[in-house]
Amino acid sequence: MKIHVLGPGCAKCHKTFDNAQEAVKAAGVQAEVVKVEKIDEIMKFGVMITPALVIDGQVKVSGKVPSVEDIKKWVTGK
């Protein structure tokens, strides 16, 4: 599983990245969490508002910081 955190490096983007890492650890799943900070790379995902979270190519949220619980649900499918 690959999780992309999209954002130019603002506080909300850092919080989204931290929440994603915490959720992956708490859920006990194998996942790579990566930051995407370059605008041209973010645009490839079709995202116009950051922060955004993408799991295996699917945009799960854009424009707000997802909670650890929400991310856990997405990565476990439960």
Catalytic residue among 5, 6, 13, 24: 13
3-state SS record for the chain: CEEEEECCCCHHHHHHHHHHHHHHHHHCCCCEEEEECCHHHHHCCCCCCCCEEEECCEEEEECCCCCHHHHHHHHHCC
Catalytic residue among 1, 2, 10, 48: 10
The answer to whether residue 10 is catalytic is yes
Which positions are annotated as active-site residues?
A: 10, 13
